[in-house]
Chain A
Amino acid sequence: MQEITPFHTAINDLAGLAAGIHKNSGKIIGYMCSYAPEELIYAAGFHPMRLFSSKSDISLAENHLQAYCCSLVRGVLEDSLAGRLGYLNGMVFPHTCDSIQRLSDIWRLNTNHGFFADVIMPAKLNTPSARAYMKDVLKKFQTDLETAIGHSIAPEDLKASICLFNRIRKHLARIYELKSKFPSIIREKDLFAIVKGAMVMDRKELADRLENIVQRLEQKDPSPSSAKRIILSGSICDMPDIYSLIEAAGGMVVADDLCTGNRWFEGQMDEGIDPLEALTARYADRAICPAKHSGNTLRGENLVRLAKDHKADGVIFAFLKFCDPHAFDFPYMKDFLDKAAIKSLHLELDDQQQGQGQLSTRLETFIHMI
C-alpha cells in the first residue's frame, strides 16, 4: 500500500526526518516513554519525538551505565554521547522505571540538548491524592515549557493539540480494529511502520495520512486468513521488528498490550472540559505501564480480556532484557492466561539482535503449537 511508504521512509531515516522538521523551523523535544505528555509539548510549539536506540555498539555509555542496564537506556545515551542526536532541541523524562530515573540524572549531567525537564509523575495512579498530584505535575511541566518559549501556551492551542492527538489515536485505534477483524488487511511490517512512525512524524501530516490509510483499508475486501491470531504484550520500548518475524512464522498480530501500541493510543481525551483536567484523566486512567500501580491485578485482567475479545490463539510476551517492571509482572500475567487456557510464549529481547534465527524458530514452534 503506497499510503504506508512515508511511514517506512520516516522510521528508516530518523535523522533525515528530523532535518526536515528543522528546515520548517520546527524544534524537536525527545522522550523515551509513552507517559510523556505529547499534547503539552506540541501545544508549546515543539515537535515531540520518541527516541529509540540506534543499536550501535556501546562504548561511550560504558562510562556511565553498567552492562546490566536495558539496551534502550544504554543505547539512547550512547546515541546522545556519540553525537547522533544533534537534532534534539530538548528532552523530557517522565518518571517511570528506575533505569530511566537514573538516565535522567546522567543526561542532565553529561549531555547538552537544550531544554530539559523531569515530569515526575506519581507511581500510583488510583487515589485522589495521586490524581491531584498528577495535575500539579502537568501544570508544572506546562510552566517549564512556557518559560522555555517565553510566553504562555494559549488555552485554544492546548485544546487544538488535544483534538489533534485524539484524531491520531482514533485513527490508530480504527486501524487496529480493522486489523483484528481482518488480520490479512495489512502486513505486519506495515503495521509496525505505522505505529512507530506515529511517534516520530509531523503530527498534522500524520493525522491526515492515518485518515487516508483508514479510508483505503475500509474499501478493501480482504481475503480470509488462516494465520494464528496473536497478541503482543510487554514493552517493546525499543521496538525491534518482531512483527515481521511473527508473520513469517504463520501468525498475525490482532491486538497488543504495548506502550508502543494500544496502551499509548487507546481511549479519547475529553475535549469538552478544562484541558489540564483532560490531560490528568488521560495519564491517570490509560492502560497502565507496569512501572505504575493501579491495583494488583489490573494488567492481568486486562490481558485476559483483550485475548478473549480478540479471540486470540496465543499471547507473546516480549520485553527487553534487564527490564524490571515487565519481568516482575510476567509470572502472574502468564498465570492468569494459563488459568484462562490461553497459551503464551515469553521472549526476552536483547539489542544485539543476535539469534534472530533462534527467535524465528521459537516463534514458529509456538505458532505451530497453538
Chain B
Amino acid sequence: MTDTEPQKDKQKIKAAKRMREIMTAYYMDAMTARENNKKIAWITSGGPVEPLIAMDIIPVYPENHGAMIGASKMGEDLCVKAEEMGYSSDLCSYARADISCAQINGGPIGGLPKPDMLICCNNICGTVLKWYEVQARHFKVPLFILDTPVCHTEYSPEIATYVRRQIDDYIVFLETATGRKLDPDQMVQVGHLALKGQKLWQKVLTTTTHKPSPMSAFDAFFFLALIVTLRGTQTAVDFYEELILEMEERVQAGISSVPHEKYRLLWDNLPVWYQLKWLSKKFSDHNACLVADTYTSAWCSSIKYIDENNFLDSMAEAYTRIYLNNGVDKMADQVLDMIRLYDVDGFVMHSNRSCKPYSFGQMDIMNIVREKTGIPVLMLEADMVDPRSFSLSQADTRIDAFMEIIKQKG
C-alpha cells in the first residue's frame, strides 16, 4: 500500500482545493446576500447569467444544488419527500430534490438562500418551466422566462427575432426587480469575461486529447461548477487559467488520470452523481479513461455564436443553439466530432430516467455512432440523483462485458 500512496498524491489535481475554496466563498456570499443588500436570482444551468453578474445580482443554481445533493447521497431521501408532496417519482430528480428541499431547508447545505427572483431558460428542457413555476408559487417572487424555441433543423429568423426581443424584456425585468439600470459598460466587461471563461473551459476540456489524458470526465464534472455558476467573473477566468497550467504540467510530466490508460471513452448525459467514485474506479480498473463527455462541453458549445463586441445581441443565438436545444441528428453530429477529436475507443451513454430531452433520441444517436464509426456503445440505465433507478450489480456486469468487447477490438 505505502508505495502507491505518493503515486496517488501525484495523481491528484491540486487545483481542486482552490476550487473548493472558491465555491465555499461563493455560497457564503449567497448566504449572506441579504445582510449585504444584494439580491439573489435562482437561474437554470443554461440560463443567461451575464446580465445578473453585470447588475451585481447573485446567481444561485438549483441544478448545481441538485448535483451536490446527488453527490452527497441525499437524493433518495429528498426525492421521497417530494413524492409525499404529490410529485410523481417519474419527474426529474433535480426538480424533486430541490422542491422538497425548499420546503424543509434540508440537503447538504441546509437549503439554498431564498430567491428574490427566478430566471428560467427552457433551452435545456420543459421541466425547468414547470419546476420554476412551482418555486415561483412557493416563494411568491417574480419569474422571468427566456423562451428559446427548439432548433429541430434550424435557427430560423422567427426564432432569432423572438429571442432577441426577450433579451430586452429580460433587462427590463431585472431593472424593475432591482430598481437599478444596467450599466452598458459593465455589461460589455462581463460579456468579455464570459466569453473568455468559456474559451478557457474549452481549453481545459481539450487537454484530454493528449494521450494519456491528464484528467478525466469525472474531473470535468467537478471543475464544471465554476463555468456554470461564476461565468462572467474574473474569478472563473483566473481559476481556469491556473487549471490549464496544471494540466500542461501534468502532460509534460506524463501524469495521467488513469495510471495505465489504454482505452479512451466518451460519456453521454449527466453524471451519475452518487456513483462517481465507483464508476471512476470501475473504468480505471479496466485501464479505461472517460476522456470527454457531451455534458460539460455544453457550456462551451455555442462559443461560435458569441460576438464579443455585441454580446447582448449575440446572446440570443448563443443561448438558443446549445447542445440540448438542437435536433437529434445535430446532436449526433456533435458526438461524432467528439469521437474523432478525442480519438475514443468506446461510447458510454447514460440513459437517464430523469432527463427526457437528453435521453430520448439517445438510441438514434447510438445507431448513428455504430454505423458511422463502428465503435462499441454501452447504454447504462440510471438516474443522476435518485439511486433507486440504478442497479450496481447490473452496471458492473454490463461494464465488464462492454470493456471485454473493446479489448478484443483493441
Mark A residues whose CB is within 8 Å of B: 63-66, 68-69, 95, 97-99, 101-106, 108-110, 118, 120-124, 127, 129-130, 132-133, 136-137, 140, 290-291, 293, 296-297, 321-322, 324-325, 327-332, 334, 346, 348
Instruction: Please report the C-alpha to C-alpha distance between residue A120 and residue B169 in the assembled complex, in whole angstroms.
Output: 20
Instruction: Please report the C-alpha to C-alpha distance between residue A348 and residue B90 in the assembled complex, in whole angstroms.
Output: 11
**Given A129-B166, A328-B134: A322 and B90 interface contact (C-beta under 8 Å):** yes
**Given A102-B356, A123-B145: A97 and B364 interface contact (C-beta under 8 Å):** no
CB of B152 within 8 A of CB of A120, answer yes
Rounded to whole Å, the gap between the CB of B379 and the closest CB of chain A is: 9
Residues on B with beta carbons closer than 8 Å to the beta carbon of A103: 360
Instruction: Please report the C-alpha to C-alpha distance between residue A334 and residue B85 in the assembled complex, in whole angstroms.
Output: 11
Mark B residues whose CB is within 8 Å of A: 85-88, 90-92, 95, 122, 125-127, 129-131, 133-134, 136-137, 143, 145, 147, 149-150, 152-153, 156, 158-159, 161-162, 165-166, 169, 327-329, 351, 353, 356-357, 359-364, 367
Residues on A with beta carbons closer than 8 Å to the beta carbon of B125: 98
Instruction: Please report the C-alpha to C-alpha distance between residue A264 and residue B346 in the assembled complex, in whole angstroms.
Output: 48
| The 9 residue pairs across chains A and B that have the minimum distance between CB atoms | A331-B86, A328-B130, A102-B360, A133-B162, A105-B328, A327-B88, A136-B158, A129-B165, A98-B357
CB of A328 within 8 A of CB of B87, answer yes
CB of B363 within 8 A of CB of A65, answer yes
Instruction: Please report the C-alpha to C-alpha distance between residue A193 and residue B54 in the assembled complex, in whole angstroms.
Output: 57
Residues on B with beta carbons closer than 8 Å to the beta carbon of A327: 87-88, 90-91
CB of A104 within 8 A of CB of B158, answer no
Instruction: Please report the C-alpha to C-alpha distance between residue A123 and residue B329 in the assembled complex, in whole angstroms.
Output: 23
Contact among B130, B134, B165, B328 with A324 in the assembled complex (CB-CB below 8 Å): B130
Rounded to whole Å, the gap between the CB of B124 and the closest CB of chain A is: 10
CB of A109 within 8 A of CB of B329, answer yes
By beta carbon, the residue of chain A nearest B362 is A66
Instruction: Please report the C-alpha to C-alpha distance between residue A47 and residue B86 in the assembled complex, in whole angstroms.
Output: 40
CB of A324 within 8 A of CB of B126, answer yes
Residues on A with beta carbons closer than 8 Å to the beta carbon of B162: 122, 129-130, 132-133, 136
Residues on A with beta carbons closer than 8 Å to the beta carbon of B364: 64, 105-106, 109-110
By beta carbon, the residue of chain B nearest A332 is B137
> Chain A's interface: helix, strand, loop or mixed, by majority?
helix
Instruction: Please report the C-alpha to C-alpha distance between residue A327 and residue B82 in the assembled complex, in whole angstroms.
Output: 12
Residues on A with beta carbons closer than 8 Å to the beta carbon of B161: 132-133, 136
Residues on A with beta carbons closer than 8 Å to the beta carbon of B130: 290, 324-325, 328-329
Contact among B85, B166, B356 with A331 in the assembled complex (CB-CB below 8 Å): B85
CB of B122 within 8 A of CB of A68, answer no
Residues on B with beta carbons closer than 8 Å to the beta carbon of A121: 149
By beta carbon, the residue of chain B nearest A327 is B88
CB of B143 within 8 A of CB of A296, answer yes
Residues on A with beta carbons closer than 8 Å to the beta carbon of B88: 327, 330, 348
Rounded to whole Å, the gap between the CB of B258 and the closest CB of chain A is: 30
By beta carbon, the residue of chain A nearest B325 is A101
Instruction: Please report the C-alpha to C-alpha distance between residue A142 and residue B129 in the assembled complex, in whole angstroms.
Output: 28
CB of B87 within 8 A of CB of A105, answer no
CB of B150 within 8 A of CB of A66, answer no
Instruction: Please report the C-alpha to C-alpha distance between residue A34 and residue B122 in the assembled complex, in whole angstroms.
Output: 21
**Given A123-B147, A129-B169: A98 and B158 interface contact (C-beta under 8 Å):** no
Rounded to whole Å, the gap between the CB of B322 and the closest CB of chain A is: 14
By beta carbon, the residue of chain A nearest B133 is A296
By beta carbon, the residue of chain B nearest A93 is B152
11 A-B contacts (beta carbon < 8 Å): A66-B360, A69-B360, A101-B150, A106-B328, A109-B328, A129-B166, A133-B161, A328-B95, A328-B131, A329-B130, A331-B85
Instruction: Please report the C-alpha to C-alpha distance between residue A98 and residue B92 in the assembled complex, in whole angstroms.
Output: 12
